[in-house]
Amino acid sequence: MTAGALPRSTARRVGAREQARRRPVVRPLVIFTIAVILAFFAVIYSRISLDRTAFELQRLDREIAVEQELHWDLRVDYARLQAPALITQRAAALGLVYPEDRYTIEISGMADTVGGPEDRWMDLRALFVEQP
């Protein structure tokens, strides 16, 4: 028994398959290349973003430092303005003097406040609460 020729349709199918097998596999390569390119740009982008963020952080640090400096300058100014010597000097310039007659007003609960500032604040808070 000898083999007969393949039917035409079958031969066509085998040829197409063979052609497909011989054709180089491009799609995965393209996808891989695109992925690599995307990854490359992603890395660059993230690097730039990191740098931008770092610069932004640096700027914020500088701003914090400036604000802290301002904060302490203001506190020093505040303390200087509260100095009794300065207040006395300003008061004298304004013509303020101690009165000849002094009257003592006793406020209940305020007499024994020899404690620290917290005690005094507690007394003052209590006083404020009682006020209408």
Partner 1 sequence: MARTRFRFVDLRLIAVGLVFVLAWAGIGYRLFRVQGADAAELAQLGFDQRVRHETIQAKRGTIYDRDGIELAVTVYGKALVADPSLVEAPGEAAAILAPIVGVDYVELIQRLEGDGRFTYVARRLESDTVERAREAIESADLIGFWFVEEPLRIYPSGALAAPVIGITRLDDGSGIEGIEAVMETELAGHPGKRVVERDQSGRAIPQAEFLLEPSVAGSDVVLTLDREIQYISETSLQAGIDRSGAFGGSVIVLDIANGEILAMVSLPGFDGSDRSALDPSTLRNRAITDVYEPGSTLKVVTVAAALEEGVIRPDTPFETPNEIEVGDETYSDHGSNPPVMTVSDIVAQSSNVGTIKIQRQLGNEAHYRYLDAFGLGRPASIDFAGESTGRLDHVSEWNNVAAGPSAAIGYGVGATPLQMASVFATLANDGEWVEPHVIAEIVASDGERTITEPRRHRVVSPETARTMRTMLRRVVEDGTGFRADIDEFPVGGKTGTTDKFDVATGKYSDTETIAWFIGIAPIDDPKIVVVVVLDSPSGMIAGGYDMSFGGTSAAPIFAEIAESTLHQLGVSPTHDGDA
We find the least distance from the C-beta atom of residue 78 to partner 1, in angstroms, to be 8
Rg (alpha carbons) of the chain, rounded to whole number: 44
The interface region with partner 1, picked from 3-11, 24-32, 35-43, 83-91 by CB under 8 A, is: 83-91
DSSP assignment, residue 119?
A: H
50 binds partner 1 (CB under 8 A): yes
CB of 26 to partner 1, least distance (A): 40
- Restricting to residues 9-38, which ones interact with partner 1 according to CB under 8 A? none
Question: Residue 1 or residue 85: which is nearer to partner 1 going by CB?
Answer: 85
Buried b / exposed e along 69-85 (16+ C-beta atoms within 10 A) = eeeeeeeeeeeeeeeee
Place of tokens 């500032």: 117
Dist CA 78 CA 72 (whole Å): 10
C-alpha 99/C-alpha 101 separation (Å) is 5
Q: Is 124 in the site for partner 1 (CB under 8 A)?
A: no
What residues between 52 and 71 interact with partner 1 by CB under 8 A?
A: 54-55, 57-58, 69
Cα gap 48→41, rounded to integer Å: 10
Summarize as ranges the residues that interact with partner 1 (CB under 8 A).
50-51, 54-55, 57-58, 69, 72-73, 75-76, 79-80, 82-85, 88, 104, 106, 110-114, 116-117, 120
